[in-house]
Chains A and B, each alone.
Chain A
């Protein structure tokens, strides 16, 4: 008698196909293949190239290939004086240019022992927070577009333009600000600055509710983001992630709280953290961060102290004593650090940038494998990478 084994367990189609493919019996069995994503791809936010090892629709491995916008900034920084370092950092993470300016100014101030006053610190903090909102608004718009919704793009860019106008009024630039310099600021604030910022805050506050009604409450968005691309806290720390990506994984690490700079210790704000570490947490952390940033600006805008906007002679040469200096701050994407090696001359002998996006990108290699290729776009977008910041 021949006994026939009957499998009673009802499994999903995927499981059955995979099991059969392992034994080499299935006509539906898949095989692994490679696909290039980028460097010319609308969802990679620039010229990032990802080599995907796929099995059917499932991502098995991701190999990021960098260098398509490597401009040799660190080498070029060695040929510039300490005062000229500022404008290069505009072009690293161009969405956080003021914050990048601040870090490089802070490290030069620390090296050359330049004192700055409270007015400068307050204005720097306000501008940094304005830019955090601006950067997150752009991310929100592009995130919506990557998921196939065009309306967030229009809303985000419309409201981003209001903050861009404020920047333009004082600084004159819309994107590459070049505003904070060692020893202070390039220009004092515009007379209308306080009024315009207040108008912007009263405009923005109801807008966040609208964003939530429009996008955050949408069931399609939630289904596409929840439990997708889960990054646990341990891996996030091990991979060197920072900023909203790290905080979404449940690690309450924010340099504004841990090691306050500027006037952050005087203001009251909270840092939103996630619980699961999926795309939805990264989304919500950024949405809440924008509200917190407005809260910080509100507390500071009425009490900008009097004083000079530049504490040293404009154009004075800076010669820090020989040594190694490092300063880091929390930009909209994470920790941006500048390492400076001075040999006592007018130019640094080595400059290194610790950029947040480089480390955040590497989380992709941890969280995307095992998921579907359709989820990959939402994961890349939720990490919010800026490619020139990765390649430098």
Chain B
């Protein structure tokens, strides 16, 4: 881990797909690193999302994923699978409550590696409108499963969801190698100014929550 990824850095670092020069610069033999780039490129362009939606965000994700107006097929991610065994992208669309949390964890565990998670909407990021004074809401999907990209909004527009997906694709292309499987970047929030991390935001939220209750 240890690498602090920010959007600007990712966009600078992410090697263009067949650019072998940038692949050479990394450590290790040239062949393996080029295979890494190829594999990551292939993975990033064939994400199969799981049809998982709990509330309002699911409609906008459906709008983005299935409908003709904003076509997710342009990014190679239109094959929505109802079974977690066949999917490799979990889009947490909507609020997660305490009763649903073990089920979400089971769904995540059933997915085959490599698997990626996008948390869409305020509820999946922090609890959203239910962050205060709710006895049943889980404050963010990261409390249950590791999240790669957060997409803010309540609910996010389909375009925002696309931006999150493109951010995830960049992360995958820049991401784990064959020699270091499972090593993943820290989560990023799509559409966030560079230099601000999720940790900063979370600290702000906690400070705000303390201020609201006292």
User: Which residues does A use to contact B, with CB under 8 Å?
Assistant: 39-42, 46-47, 67-72, 75-76, 79, 87-88, 90-91, 94-95, 138, 153-154, 157-158, 161, 174-176, 387-388
Contacts and interface: CB of A to CB of B under 8 A. Distances in A.
B163 to A, nearest CB: 16
Contact of B56 (A40, A42, A175): A175
A178 B66 CA distance: 26
A40 B56 CA distance: 16
A158 B67 CA distance: 7
B55 A91 contact: yes
Contact of B54 (A69, A95, A154, A161): A69
B123 to A, nearest CB: 8
Contact of A70 (B62, B69, B136): B136
Contacts of A39: 100, 103
B97 A71 contact: yes
Contact of A176 (B52, B56, B136): B56
Contacts, number: 97
B129 A88 contact: yes
B-side binding surface: helix, strand, loop or mixed?
loop
Given A70-B97, A157-B67, A75 B135 contact: yes
Give 10 nearest A-B pairs by CB, closest first.
Answer: A157-B67, A94-B56, A42-B82, A79-B133, A388-B55, A68-B100, A72-B136, A72-B134, A154-B68, A161-B69
Contact of B133 (A76, A91, A95, A153): A76
A71 B137 contact: yes
Nearest to A43: B82
Contact of A41 (B82, B133, B134): B82
B54 A68 contact: yes
14 contacts: A41-B82, A47-B54, A71-B95, A71-B134, A71-B136, A72-B134, A72-B135, A87-B129, A153-B66, A153-B67, A157-B63, A158-B68, A158-B69, A174-B60
A129 to B, nearest CB: 20
B103 A157 contact: no
B51 interface: yes
A76 B154 CA distance: 18
Interface of B: 51-56, 58-60, 62-63, 66-69, 82, 84, 94-95, 97, 99-100, 103, 107, 129-130, 132-137, 154-155, 157
A40 B107 contact: yes
B99 A67 contact: yes
Contacts of A387: 54-55
Given A47-B100, A72-B135, A157-B63, 8 more contacts: A39-B100, A41-B82, A69-B54, A70-B97, A72-B137, A90-B56, A158-B69, A175-B56
B79 to A, nearest CB: 13
Contacts of A87: 129
A76 B107 CA distance: 29
